[in-house]
Chains A and B, each alone.
Chain A
Amino acid sequence: MRLAGYLLLTAATYYMAGMYRSLPLMLLFVMELVLLAVMRILPFYLRRAFSLKFSEEAVMAERTEEMLCHIHVCNRAWLPVSRFRIRLALRYQQGGRRIKRKLYGGVRERGEADMEFRLTLPYCGLVLLELDKVLLYDYLSFFSSGKRLEGELEAAVFPRERALQIELPASVYQEYRQEGELAVPARGMEQQEIRQLREYLPGDSIRLIHWNQSVRTGRLWVKEFEAERECRVELFLDLRIFGKARPGQMHAFYELLSALVMGLLKTAVSVRVSWQEGQAFLTEEIRGTEELRRLLLRLYHMDFPKKKKREEAAVLPAGADLLRLDMELGLYCRGRLLYRFSRKELDREIESRVYMMGNMDM
């Protein structure tokens, strides 16, 4: 449209210059023609010396937070790139529609710049952002020249950190003490008897630091507790329909898993989460948020076949019947359904309800 207007103007200039035999107007007409040619060539010249990529390989944030992403733009040409357009392709790792977004920018001549944009993702999971194509415009935005880009950014969205208020039957808790491992009480159970204090070693939990003693002595001391009361929960994830779940369903599962693990960590030292991936039986020991996020990242990166051999995965492995969470948000204990959460009401169910299942007969 703009170009058509410009051509119309050029034609009008040509006509008026001829009709009034005006040399300045004829010069203007020739300039308009030459300028058009220059503008046509300019994007090709700029394209050769232009490159861009994501500044980071991965970004992560909680679901309610915005993710700050950076694009590094480099222009080695002698002229500034006044305007370029990037086309980004976004898709959830575990399926869903591929969507495209356009972003604009500019960069000075022989310069580099880090440009930022903010990403908000509706579901927990892993989103892949691909740099699809860039278009470089001339200074009057008449013409553009594009090139394909290669570059990928992983954006991981974790569930909000919140704990399910839950008490499970006593039989679910297992006594737990690894050789040489420091006993760590469950959250809220720090009133246990302290066996001794020792100096801080790398890897020790910050929660165990005895701050009063540390301040007094100027060195970091950690508390060691009696080991008798330490316990662990085994949680099996039933991922049999993982491959065909939609991002919304996955999101609900991750939200519930996160809240459940955080809730269990209030009453247990650790939660040992296990699941089956193909023929392999995988586990992850969760003691806090960091391990939980590592688990979620492992799950995000899992690549289940969509339809293939679903029957093979239909049989649960031995030991998976103690405490089990499936993708339809059902929580089972020894094969018995304790509670089935609802996708629609999940937030309310996590935040507002208390699940007292300690006295249930197993």
Chain B
Amino acid sequence: MEKRIGIRTEKRTDSQAYRPVPMLIFLFMGVYGLLLFLEGVDGISFDRLLVYPVCGLMCVSAWYLYYGRKLWFFLYATFATMVVCFAAYHFRWILLAEAKSVAGSYMGLAEAEGEPATWLVLLASWFLVLLLFFLQIVMKKHSLLYLVLTILLLAGPMLGVWTGFWEMILLLVFQAAFFAAHKTGSARKGRLLAAPDRERLAGRSSAYMGLLLLAVLAASAPAAYFCAERLYQSVYTAEGFLSRTMHTLSGTKSDPIRGGHVSRGNNHQSGTEQLAVRSTKKPEQPVYLKGFTGGLYVGGEWQPAEDEPLLENAAQAMGWQRWLTTIEGMYSNMYYVMNSNMWMRGRPMAGMLTIRHPNGNYETIYEPYYGQQIYESAYNLYGPPEYAYGYWFYEQREMNVRWDAPLGEFDTQRSWYRQLCEEYKKEAQAAYTLTPGGLLPRLTSLCRENPQGSLEDITAFILYTLHSNADYSLTPGWAALNDDVVEYFLFERKSGYCVHFASAATLMYRTYGIPARYAAGYVLQPGDFVQQEDGAYYASATDREAHAWVEIFLDEYGWTPVEVTPAADGESAASFPGFDSDVLKERMKAKGWDMDEPSLKESGTVRKRQGGGTFRWSIDARIERMLPFLPDLILYCLCFLPLWFHFRRKSRLERLGRMGSRALFGRLVELLHFGGLLPGCDGLEEDFAEKLTEAVPAISKEHACRIMAYAFQAAYGREEERAEERESLKKAYRYAAESVYGGLGVGRRLIFRYVRVFW
């Protein structure tokens, strides 16, 4: 004997077949949301006029059959899938060509715009509709789909697919509504109280969920639109806080230079001291301390520049192979030595720069421009036991190298330097003008389309391009993974910091054939140096002073830093000997460039990222965007009009079937009037029965009298009407409808069936 108290429930089927319209609407939303999302993928375009209505028909047919007769639905799904597969196999060459075009466009391999992939999208749409339908409606499994769609929405930007406003809303409503439907009365098997109309309740819950979401949208949209910038900043603040906390907790030090890595994310500064610098003289120009020099650029990474092979080649060309080690030493301090010997009188005194790493990590050594390293004897200037290293150096303004000036005793040495400089320049021209053109198609074509002559023109164009299009920001966000970070910075995101500006400028210089290198390290401003008791000037470099810049090769200066990152006030601060802000302004004016006018056109991706035309309040812009779709929309509505009439008719007929005797009698009179029978009669006449029999011979006089009596009874009687009375009235109504319908023309028959819905 069973000893447990048992409670069980039974599934109760709905009394009437029910087709939940909300489910169809939400299915539409899911499918259309995904199609819109697909449109956001670079390289995918298709004929909307064909794809959207066909997808709509797929949804309606599946929904109609499933909620009518499930067996028919499964037969239909199987048969249609077979047909689709057969057609796909038969026309595989079309699909393959479209697939190649899409893949090429997405990977940035195709030069031109991708071909429309209408058939491919249609094929995918069929399986998409089936998948959504099976998961959401047949199997009622939501989790997997929810996960996939969420990842798609969130990871889209990472893959260069920007989710627009409409697809986001459609997919959100689709997910939430089906979630609500599935959660309606969800319980473990045998724990759900049996109740009628469970399907209806699920439909209603999902519909209300959809309405709630629309209300939520209305409440959220203004907040999101007007506070977007604050919200973005709060994300960056949070990320910075987390980053700093992680560094603190893990005990790892932040590395602001990070070799030649061009960051795809934000730059969070902690203010940790990285370098302690002592100078014997107060600098009057920024002091660039270089810790990394970039040679080849390979997809977001600068390889370290190696001068040894270049010097080897130079030595070979000069026939100095025996003195290779000497050449390397000569080259490293060439410009310091040249400058020291150049001044006949009034030679500026070289400063001594001593650098100490407070964190004790001396893996990266930082060196100033136009300097010469100080060896052992000078190390202790900082004071033992702390280790430090030092340089003699000149500032840029103190450099006065003239290759052709007579230098007396130094002439022989100068000719060696001159020879070395010439040979090195040739090697640098070959080595530091290489760009990965395949990786940077847009940057390359931009430089090709804007040929420039002199170095000044090139520099001016680079500054104009960078500063007119991109803003300086330490928190520009992340770059998409499918795009090169430099191209993404300049053409998509249009926001970045020194690393991005310097990388873009270096690559542009190189594209124009100017030898240029990416350099990273620290920049100390003159104001950072403070005199101490010992008379020396001390400065501290934190990660806030970490910087990246371009260096170009100038005959009289060697590798010289060029500042391409805009100043905090947005002003262009680029200068190198022979180029300053006045030259820039003059060139800009001559070329007709304006820093306030972006030189690059806004790409489609940027429009999408910013919400595009899909989320702007400008009515004009909206109308402008809507206009091209208007014919599509009208045709689309026309496609669905017959379906709408069909469902309306079915609904009206169901209502007719449930009508009481009184209402049915009224409808009978209306029907007769529509057919032009018994005009002026309202059914209350004494001789109505005779007239009805004459007008509709199929109704006998007794039958007519009876239905009149039933109608009066229903209207004025106290007793409830009986089923047989209603059946009798329905029978009479059917006779009258058949009689009236037979006498109508084609146009009025359509009105009879679909507009007035008499039968």
Check A121–B219 contact: CB distance below 8 A. Answer: no
Q: How far is the CB of B618 from chain A (nearest CB, A)?
A: 14
Contact of B609 among A22, A79, A127 (CB under 8 A): A22
Check B183–A141 contact: CB distance below 8 A. Answer: yes
A24 and B6 in contact (CB under 8 A), knowing A14-B235, A19-B477, A34-B219? no
A24 and B168 in contact (CB under 8 A), knowing A104-B193, A116-B9? yes
Contact of B186 among A19, A71, A104 (CB under 8 A): A104
Check B157–A16 contact: CB distance below 8 A. Answer: yes
Check B235–A15 contact: CB distance below 8 A. Answer: yes
Q: What CA separation (Å) do A121 and B5 show in the bound complex? A: 5
Q: Which residues of B contact A15 (CB under 8 A)?
A: 235, 239
Check A28–B168 contact: CB distance below 8 A. Answer: yes
A82 and B185 in contact (CB under 8 A), knowing A34-B219, A101-B7? yes
Q: Which residues of B contact A29 (CB under 8 A)?
A: 224, 231
- Per-residue 0/1 for B181-197: is the Cβ within 8 Å of any A Cβ (1 yes, 0 no)? 00111110001111111
- Interface presence of B72 (CB below 8 A): no
Check B154–A12 contact: CB distance below 8 A. Answer: yes
Contact of A102 among B176, B191, B213, B221 (CB under 8 A): B191
A23 and B212 in contact (CB under 8 A), knowing A108-B204, A109-B204, A116-B193? no
| Residue among A22, A26, A29, A120 with most chain B CB within 10 A | A22
- A127's closest neighbor in chain B, by CB? B5
A117 and B157 in contact (CB under 8 A), knowing A71-B193, A104-B193? no
**Which applies to chain B's interface (DSSP): helix, strand, loop or mixed?**
helix
Q: How far is the CB of A136 from chain B (nearest CB, A)?
A: 12
Contact of A79 among B208, B221, B239 (CB under 8 A): B208
- Interface presence of A195 (CB below 8 A): no
- Per-residue 0/1 for B234-256: is the Cβ within 8 Å of any A Cβ (1 yes, 0 no)? 11100100000000000000000
Of B158-166, B302-310, B532-540, the one with at least 4 CB within 8 A of chain A: B158-166
- Interface presence of A58 (CB below 8 A): no
A25 and B216 in contact (CB under 8 A), knowing A115-B193, A117-B7? no
Q: How far is the CB of B187 from chain A (nearest CB, A)?
A: 3
- Per-residue 0/1 for B159-181: is the Cβ within 8 Å of any A Cβ (1 yes, 0 no)? 00011110010001000100110
- Interface presence of B232 (CB below 8 A): yes
Check A18–B234 contact: CB distance below 8 A. Answer: yes
Q: What CA separation (Å) do A25 and B236 show in the bound complex? A: 15
- Interface presence of A21 (CB below 8 A): yes
- Interface presence of B610 (CB below 8 A): yes
- Interface presence of B478 (CB below 8 A): yes
Q: What CA separation (Å) do A171 and B241 show in the bound complex? A: 99
- Interface presence of B69 (CB below 8 A): no
Q: How far is the CB of B575 from chain A (nearest CB, A)?
A: 32
- Per-residue 0/1 for B1-22: is the Cβ within 8 Å of any A Cβ (1 yes, 0 no)? 1111111111000000000000
Q: How far is the CB of A196 from chain B (nearest CB, A)?
A: 44
Q: Which residues of A contact B208 (CB under 8 A)?
A: 79-80, 109, 139
| Residue among A16, A71, A99, A107 with most chain B CB within 10 A | A16
Q: Which residues of B contact A319 (CB under 8 A)?
A: none
- Interface presence of A9 (CB below 8 A): yes
- Interface presence of A30 (CB below 8 A): yes
Check A119–B6 contact: CB distance below 8 A. Answer: yes
Q: What CA separation (Å) do A119 and B209 show in the bound complex? A: 34
Check A105–B7 contact: CB distance below 8 A. Answer: no
Check A140–B180 contact: CB distance below 8 A. Answer: yes
Q: Size range of the interface on B?
A: 35 or more
Q: Which residues of A contact B198 (CB under 8 A)?
A: 106
Check B611–A23 contact: CB distance below 8 A. Answer: yes
Check A27–B224 contact: CB distance below 8 A. Answer: yes
- Interface presence of B265 (CB below 8 A): yes
Q: What CA separation (Å) do A13 and B156 show in the bound complex? A: 11
Q: What CA separation (Å) do A16 and B235 show in the bound complex? A: 9
- Interface presence of A221 (CB below 8 A): no
Check A35–B191 contact: CB distance below 8 A. Answer: no
Within 8 A of A (CB), among B490-546: 493, 495
Q: What CA separation (Å) do A137 and B185 show in the bound complex? A: 10
Q: Which residues of A contact B615 (CB under 8 A)?
A: 23-24, 27
- Per-residue 0/1 for B601-613: is the Cβ within 8 Å of any A Cβ (1 yes, 0 no)? 0000000011100
Q: Which residues of A contact B234 (CB under 8 A)?
A: 18
- Interface presence of A88 (CB below 8 A): yes
Q: What CA separation (Å) do A140 and B176 show in the bound complex? A: 8
Check B7–A18 contact: CB distance below 8 A. Answer: no
Q: What CA separation (Å) do A108 and B205 show in the bound complex? A: 8
- Interface presence of A38 (CB below 8 A): yes
Check B9–A106 contact: CB distance below 8 A. Answer: no
Contact of A83 among B183, B221, B266, B495 (CB under 8 A): B183
Check A103–B5 contact: CB distance below 8 A. Answer: no
Check A103–B191 contact: CB distance below 8 A. Answer: yes
Q: What CA separation (Å) do A119 and B195 show in the bound complex? A: 16
Q: What CA separation (Å) do A265 and B494 show in the bound complex? A: 100
Check A80–B205 contact: CB distance below 8 A. Answer: yes
Q: How far is the CB of B102 from chain A (nearest CB, A)?
A: 23
Q: What CA separation (Å) do A25 and B609 show in the bound complex? A: 9
Within 8 A of B (CB), among A70-126: 71, 73, 79-80, 82-83, 85-86, 88, 90, 99, 101-109, 113-122
Q: How far is the CB of B476 from chain A (nearest CB, A)?
A: 8
- B179's closest neighbor in chain A, by CB? A140
Contact of B220 among A31, A107, A119 (CB under 8 A): A31
| Residue among B1, B185, B223, B480 with most chain A CB within 10 A | B185
- Interface presence of B201 (CB below 8 A): yes
Q: What CA separation (Å) do A165 and B228 show in the bound complex? A: 88
Q: What CA separation (Å) do A141 and B212 show in the bound complex? A: 15
Contact of B1 among A27, A117, A122, A139 (CB under 8 A): A122
Within 8 A of B (CB), among A127-142: 127, 137, 139-141
| Residue among B213, B215, B232 with most chain A CB within 10 A | B232
Q: What CA separation (Å) do A298 and B619 show in the bound complex? A: 80
Q: How far is the CB of A259 from chain B (nearest CB, A)?
A: 16
- Interface presence of A17 (CB below 8 A): yes
The 9 closest A-B pairs by CB, nearest first: A18-B235, A104-B187, A23-B611, A120-B6, A115-B193, A82-B205, A105-B193, A20-B157, A106-B185
Could you pull out 28 A-B pairs where Cβ atoms are within 8 angstroms?
A: A16-B158, A18-B477, A19-B477, A21-B495, A24-B164, A25-B154, A25-B168, A26-B232, A28-B153, A34-B220, A38-B215, A80-B205, A82-B183, A83-B183, A101-B7, A102-B191, A103-B193, A104-B186, A104-B193, A106-B201, A109-B204, A114-B195, A115-B194, A118-B10, A120-B5, A139-B179, A139-B209, A139-B212
Residues of A in contact with B (beta carbons under 8 Å apart): 9, 12-31, 33-35, 38, 66, 71, 73, 79-80, 82-83, 85-86, 88, 90, 99, 101-109, 113-122, 127, 137, 139-141, 248
